[in-house]
Amino acid sequence: MSARGAGRRKSELRTLGGVVGSVLEDLGLGEVARAARVVEHWAHAVGPEVASHSRPEGLRQGVLEVSVDSSVWCQQLQMLRPKLLEALREALGEEAPEDLRFRVGYNPSA
């Protein structure tokens, strides 16, 4: 058995996001792995209403870029930014983004 599989039972279930994150870390793509974990926890951390109007797009130098479906929601989320950052810190700990940047461009029906 490889060192990676040592100590883990064959029947242990892991989320796809967790597996993808682990593989990306192993490949030296830490920022991509961190972004994958943010995406995985986004809806739970920010709540269903915010999640239905927004989608995390990428993580650049600790800043999470988030697409929003309207300018009204973009403004609303900008005002909620401190609260959203705190929720992401609670969900992700040290892997949480340091800041958020919102832009209109998300189409939830696409």
Question: Quick one: pLDDT band at residue 93, thresholds 50, 70, 90?
Answer: very high
Q: For position 66, what pLDDT does the model report?
A: 96
* Letter string b/e over residues 68-105, b meaning 16 or more CB atoms within 10 A of that residue's CB: bbeeebbebbeebeeebbebbeebbeebbbeebebeee
- CATH number of the domain that residue 41 is part of: 3.30.300.180
Residue pair 99/61 in contact (Cβ under 8 Å)? The answer is no
User: What whole-number distance in Å separates Cα of residue 90 and Cα of residue 13?
Assistant: 23
Q: Is residue 110 part of a domain?
A: no
Q: Is residue 96 part of a domain?
A: yes
Q: Is residue 24 part of a domain?
A: yes
| Other CB atoms within 10 A of residue 50 CB | 20
Number of domains in the chain: 1
Residue pair 46/87 in contact (Cβ under 8 Å)? The answer is yes
Q: Taking all residues of the chain, what is their mean pLDDT, rounded to a whole number?
A: 83
- What are the pLDDT digits (tens) for 29-82? 667 778 888 999 999 999 999 999 999 998 888 999 999 999 999 999 999 999
Q: Is residue 21 part of a domain?
A: yes
Q: Is residue 44 part of a domain?
A: yes
Q: Is residue 10 part of a domain?
A: no
List the domain range (segments joined by +) for residue 68. 16-104
